[in-house]
């Protein structure tokens, strides 16, 4: 059981390093709230795509009959899905505390009808 958990440590380290770099760069360039919004958006895409790729790998390896690689890819898939779930929870909490970030800017329209 512990051996299975030690296999996902590199993935967790990579996710943590990417999160730290994205947050620090975005905080330096923008505001902390904008950095959180950017980090949530990046991690939603990153973990979503990673989950899809790992699900395809799991399916392929399962059909191929290689159970050792299936266990490894399944543990990575579970980690990616947990990261995606945590990201979505963070987004819900962020939007709850900052409801103005939920609304996107819209293109302005003139009232007099001229362009």
**Mind listing the pLDDT tens digit for each residue in 40-95?**
999 999 999 999 999 999 999 999 988 888 988 998 999 999 999 999 999 999 88
> Residues 70, 62: contact at Cβ < 8 Å?
yes
Task: Note the helical H segments in 8-102.
Answer: 9-29, 32-64, 67-97
> Residues 73, 54: contact at Cβ < 8 Å?
yes
pTM (2 d.p.): 0.79
pLDDT at 107 over 90: no
């Amino acid at each position: 059981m512990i051996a299975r958990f030690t296999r996902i440590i590199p993935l967790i380290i990579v996710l943590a390093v990417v999160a730290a770099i994205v947050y620090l760069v975005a905080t330096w360039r923008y505001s902390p709230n904008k950095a959180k919004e950017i980090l949530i958006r990046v991690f939603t895409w990153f973990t979503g795509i990673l989950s899809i790729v790992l699900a395809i790998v799991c399916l392929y390896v399962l059909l191929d009959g290689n159970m050792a690689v299936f266990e490894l890819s399944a543990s990575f898939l579970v980690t990616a899905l947990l990261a995606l779930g945590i990201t979505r929870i963070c987004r819900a909490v962020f939007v709850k505390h900052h409801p103005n970030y939920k609304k996107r800017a819209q293109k302005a329209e003139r009232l007099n009808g001229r362009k």
